């Protein structure tokens, strides 16, 4: 591995790996528009100058809620170059959700979609955000306009490895999101290890169909490509037709399990189509062992499953060269120490099931302005309590068998029931709700709600509840079904028995 350059700004590390011939492609869109490494350097420099011109300084937050585009990636790189902190937001987040992030993170600049500018300007003013710019899908908006007149060069701000590069919000069991603070060193160590471990080589072409506001699409996929100085085929979203069209030109694909189940459901996805591929990687949600096996039977490829979280980037991975075992997430990454412990923190042995804990250079710097929340999740010896339930088998493979946290993962997006319950419980005529995750053939899990109405309030309907949640929260958090009960089942401690509700409704989304 090459030594890190003197500045530990992640961009400096990328730059040290860019191809000598900068005219080589960095990115090609699904419509065939090509961006070279020269373009990457020039556009990110102009954007960085525009940010600096507005007064964005080292350590300032830049919140971004825009559609996936090459310019969006250049903005990420510009923020790194300016020494500021990149704060990406899911495009599905609604006004109320955005308001919370702006108030909590106090960004200096908020970049939003041009079509939302009026609404977001009003919100940004209320949240005392000094600057608002827009960025559209095809390089439109006030950010590119401001950047257009700037020179192509920018002196990237030197950073130390402990200094922050990004804050990514992750929901919590209390219903309020926490900003996970990630440093330049966190991102660099993870990217270098994955680049090495997954055998990236000159000429690799990554098929990129993930969103770029989360760790998977932004850091795992993009940072490894940048370190490799190679190129990606860049799709605005996952679409089976586009992926099947572009696959013959790719060598590596990363996705959530839904990508692979959707590909398998398409007869055009054949052994021939995938024969040339070097690697398929899956993560963000459990890949069913059956999907792994069906994929191997269809294509001859064993999907490489890995495990991570916003607070850490990647934590474990199945081997590139060794056996990739279905239903496991492989071994701890080099430099990562992983153990399984019981609730009291007693360390358990091989094959014993408990909560997964780990520490390593990938572990984040804590939750933004929430030291008490950070402390709650840490052991005194620096191990982070993931809330994922699992075991390490006799061969050292990590298995995830459940979650200690009340969390549902749909199509790779995390949904904390508490957040949805808070919205439903506030509806007039509702006594209480319980939100659960149920097996779903497309999304892995889907959100559903069981609701107790006040007596004499049959007007509180499934449609009404769905409409209310849709108005307040991102669309992937909206329950796909709502049922009404006279009373929610409780245990002796008075706690709602969600396991029982899940069991009662287990087959709701099962294909007929
Ligand atoms: C869309 N819908 C969903 C989801 N996505 N419902 C539940 N879960 C979802 N994930 C709903 C919409 O609300 C909408 O409903 C309808 O489905 C169609 O929406 P559309 O946007 O057209 O869906 P899609 O384009 O088919 O998207 C599905 C998808 C997408 C491709 C699976 O969700 C996706 O790209 N997921 C990847 C998430 C990801 O990158 N996770 C990484 C997090 P309606 O019509 O009623 O409004 S990073 C992480 O977890 C850690 C660090 C890690 O280990 O990687
Ligand atoms: P996030 O909030 O996006 O960081 O989600 C992290 C969570 O996703 C982890 O704590 C796990 O519960 C889950 N996760 C990620 N990868 C996998 C995987 N390969 N198998 C099972 N769960 C996973």
- CB-based contact 129:150 (threshold 8 Å): no
* Nearest ligand by distance to the CA of 402: 2
Is residue 509 packed enough to be buried (19+ CB in 10 Å), middle (13-18) or exposed (0-12)? Answer: middle
Residue nearest to atom 28 of ligand 1 (CA): 411
Residue nearest to atom 24 of ligand 1 (CA): 238
Predicted pLDDT at 3: 56
> What is the atom index within ligand 2 of the atom nearest the CA of 283?
19
Structure tokens at 224: 């490894």
User: How many whole angstroms from 315 Cα to the centroid of ligand 1?
Assistant: 23
Residue nearest to atom 8 of ligand 1 (CA): 410
Residue nearest to atom 7 of ligand 2 (CA): 309
Nearest-angstrom CA–CA distance, 338 and 359: 7
* Nearest ligand by distance to the CA of 239: 1
Task: Report how far Cα 254 is from the mean position of its chain's Cα atoms.
Answer: 12
- Strand pairing report for 481-485 and 444-453: parallel
Three-state secondary structure call for residue 111: strand
Model confidence, pTM: 0.96
Predicted pLDDT at 505: 98
User: How many whole angstroms from 414 Cα to the centroid of ligand 1?
Assistant: 10
Structure tokens at 504: 């009662």
Nearest-angstrom CA–CA distance, 445 and 158: 43
Predicted pLDDT at 264: 98
pLDDT in tens, 155-197: 999 999 999 999 999 987 666 899 999 999 999 999 999 999 9
> Angle of helix 37-54 relative to helix 70-81, nearest 10 degrees?
60
> What is the atom index within ligand 2 of the atom nearest the CA of 405?
12
The distance between the two most distant Cα atoms of the chain, rounded to a whole number of Å, is 73
Candidate of 257, 472, 476, 482 to mutate for ligand 1, largest count of ligand atoms within 8 Å of Cβ? 476
Task: Report how far Cα 81 is from the mean position of its chain's Cα atoms.
Answer: 22
Predicted pLDDT at 175: 66
Residue nearest to atom 8 of ligand 2 (CA): 284
Candidate of 316, 363, 409, 415 to mutate for ligand 2, largest count of ligand atoms within 8 Å of Cβ? 409
User: How many whole angstroms from 237 Cα to the centroid of ligand 1?
Assistant: 10
HEC profile for 305-347?
Answer: EEEEECCCEEEEECCCCCCCCCCCCEEECCCCEEEEECCCCCE
- CB-based contact 317:329 (threshold 8 Å): yes
Residue nearest to atom 20 of ligand 2 (CA): 286
* CA distances (Å), origin 49, targets 3, 39, 45: 28, 15, 6
* Nearest ligand by distance to the CA of 308: 1
Low-confidence stretches of the chain (pLDDT < 70) are: 1-5, 173-175
Predicted pLDDT at 171: 81
* CA distances (Å), origin 169, targets 88, 172, 214: 8, 9, 9
* CA distances (Å), origin 262, targets 134, 250, 267, 442: 33, 18, 10, 7
| Extended strands (E) in 335-477 | 337-341, 354-359, 384-392, 398-403, 408-410, 413-415, 430-440, 444-453
User: How many whole angstroms from 257 Cα to the centroid of ligand 1?
Assistant: 11
Predicted pLDDT at 6: 84
> What is the atom index within ligand 1 of the atom nearest the CA of 307?
54
Structural domains for the chain? 33-181 (3.40.50.980), 238-360+380-404 (3.40.50.12780), 407-504 (3.30.300.30)
Candidate of 411, 435, 463, 481 to mutate for ligand 1, largest count of ligand atoms within 8 Å of Cβ? 411
Structure tokens at 191: 């990217």
* Nearest ligand by distance to the CA of 218: 1
DSSP string covering 23-91, please?
TSEEEEETT--EEEHHHHHHHHHHHHHHHHHHT--TT-EEEEE----HHHHHHHHHHHHTT-EEEE--T
Q: What is the CA radius of gyration of the chain?
A: 23
- CB-based contact 281:274 (threshold 8 Å): no
Task: Report how far Cα 19 is from the mean position of its chain's Cα atoms.
Answer: 28
Nearest-angstrom CA–CA distance, 398 and 261: 23
User: How many whole angstroms from 83 Cα to the centroid of ligand 1?
Assistant: 31
Residue nearest to atom 1 of ligand 1 (CA): 476
Task: Report how far Cα 408 is from the mean position of its chain's Cα atoms.
Answer: 14
User: How many whole angstroms from 108 Cα to the centroid of ligand 1?
Assistant: 29
Nearest-angstrom CA–CA distance, 133 and 154: 20
Predicted pLDDT at 405: 87
Q: Which residues of 333-347 are buried (b: 16+ CB within 10 A; e: fewer)?
A: beebebbbbeeeeee
User: How many whole angstroms from 382 Cα to the centroid of ligand 1?
Assistant: 33
Nearest-angstrom CA–CA distance, 97 and 472: 8
Residue nearest to atom 53 of ligand 1 (CA): 284
Interacting residues of 64 by C-beta distance below 8 A, sequence separation 6+: 72, 75, 76, 86, 87, 88, 89, 110, 111, 112, 135, 213
Predicted pLDDT at 380: 96
The closest of 55, 44, 54 to 80, measured between CA atoms, is 44
Predicted pLDDT at 152: 86
The closest of 351, 338, 350 to 308, measured between CA atoms, is 338
Predicted pLDDT at 512: 83
């Amino acid at each position: 591995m090459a030594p890190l350059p003197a500045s530990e700004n992640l961009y400096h590390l990328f730059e040290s790996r860019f191809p000598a011939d900068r005219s080589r492609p960095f990115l090609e869109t699904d419509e065939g528009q090509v961006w070279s490494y020269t373009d990457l350097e020039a556009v990110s420099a102009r954007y960085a100058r525009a940010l600096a011109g507005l007064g964005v300084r080292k350590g300032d937050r830049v919140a971004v809620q825009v559609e996936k585009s090459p310019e969006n990636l250049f903005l990420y790189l510009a923020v790194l170059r300016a020494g500021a902190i990149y704060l990406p937001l899911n495009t599905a987040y609604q006004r109320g959700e955005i308001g919370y992030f702006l108030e909590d993170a106090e960004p200096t600049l908020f970049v939003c979609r041009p079509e939302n500018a009026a609404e977001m300007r009003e919100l940004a003013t209320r949240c005392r955000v000094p600057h608002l710019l827009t960025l559209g899908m095809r390089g439109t908006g006030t950010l590119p306009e401001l950047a257009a007149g700037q020179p192509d060069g920018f002196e990237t701000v030197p950073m130390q490895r402990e200094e922050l590069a990004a804050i990514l919000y992750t929901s919590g069991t209390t219903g309020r999101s926490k900003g996970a603070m990630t440093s330049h060193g966190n991102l660099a160590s993870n990217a270098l290890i994955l680049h090495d471990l997954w055998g990236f080589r000159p000429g690799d072409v990554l098929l990129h169909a993930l969103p770029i506001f989360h760790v998977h699409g932004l850091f795992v996929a993009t940072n490894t490509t940048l370190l490799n100085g190679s190129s990606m085929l860049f799709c605005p979203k996952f679409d089976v037709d586009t992926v099947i069209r572009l696959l013959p030109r790719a060598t590596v694909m990363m996705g959530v399990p839904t990508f692979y189940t959707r590909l398998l459901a398409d007869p055009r996805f054949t052994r021939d189509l995938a024969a040339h591929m070097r690697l398929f990687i899956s993560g963000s949600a459990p890949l069913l062992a059956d999907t792994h096996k069906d994929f191997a039977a269809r294509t001859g490829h064993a999907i490489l499953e890995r495990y991570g979280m916003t607070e850490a980037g990647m934590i474990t991975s199945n081997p590139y060269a060794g056996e990739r075992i279905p239903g496991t997430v492989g071994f701890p990454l080099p430099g990562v120490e992983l153990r399984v412990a019981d609730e009291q923190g007693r360390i358990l042995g091989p094959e014993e099931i408990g909560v997964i804990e780990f520490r390593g250079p990938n572990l984040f710097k804590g939750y933004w302005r929430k030291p008490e929340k950070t402390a709650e999740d840490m052991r005194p010896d620096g191990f982070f309590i993931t809330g994922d339930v699992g075991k390490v088998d006799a061969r050292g493979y990590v298995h995830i068998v459940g979650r200690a946290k009340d969390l549902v993962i749909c199509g790779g997006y995390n949904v904390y029931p508490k957040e949805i319950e808070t919205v439903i419980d506030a509806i007039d005529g509702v006594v209480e709700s319980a939100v659960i995750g149920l097996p779903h053939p497309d999304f892995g899990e889907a959100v559903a709600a069981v609701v107790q109405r006040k007596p004499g309030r049959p007007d509180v309907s499934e449609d009404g509840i769905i409409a209310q949640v849709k108005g307040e929260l991102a669309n992937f958090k909206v329950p796909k079904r709502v049922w009404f009960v006279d009373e929610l089942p409780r245990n002796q401690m008075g706690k709602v028995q969600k396991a029982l509700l899940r069991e009662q409704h287990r087959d709701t989304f099962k294909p007929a």
